[in-house]
């Protein structure tokens, strides 16, 4: 992770939220990559495995969104 202001100046709350947000970014990126592979895959068996993997990444993303909403009340309000 890149820390604009320096890691040493951040409290644990901020660091943990940044970890969660960065993890969410990575999960969404993985979903996109799997979807591209699925769309281009000719092998039906492989496509089923890739679809399964993509769906697991979607579950991970949802878990992170729930956690971020729980920890960051301002972010939570943006969903309402």
One DSSP character per residue, 8-49 reads GG--HHHHHHHHHHHHHHHHHHHHHHHHHHHHH---HHHHHH
Please tell me the distance from the alpha carbon of residue 22 to that of residue 27, in angstroms, as a whole number.
Answer: 9
Please tell me what DSSP assigns to residue 79. T
User: How much of the chain exceeds pLDDT 90, in percent?
Assistant: 85
- Convert 51-61 to b/e letters by CB count within 10 Å (16 or more is b): eebbeebeebb
Residues 43-62 have pLDDT tens digits of 999 999 999 999 999 999 99
Whole-prediction pTM value? 0.89
């Amino acid at each position: 992770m890149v820390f604009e202001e320096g890691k040493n100046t951040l409290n644990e709350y901020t660091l943990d939220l940044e970890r969660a947000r960065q993890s969410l970014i990575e999960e969404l990126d993985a979903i996109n990559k799997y979807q591209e592979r699925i769309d281009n895959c000719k092998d039906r068996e492989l496509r089923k495995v890739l679809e399964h993997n993509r769906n697991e990444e979607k579950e991970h993303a949802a878990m992170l969104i729930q956690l971020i909403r729980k920890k960051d009340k301002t972010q939570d309000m943006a969903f309402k």
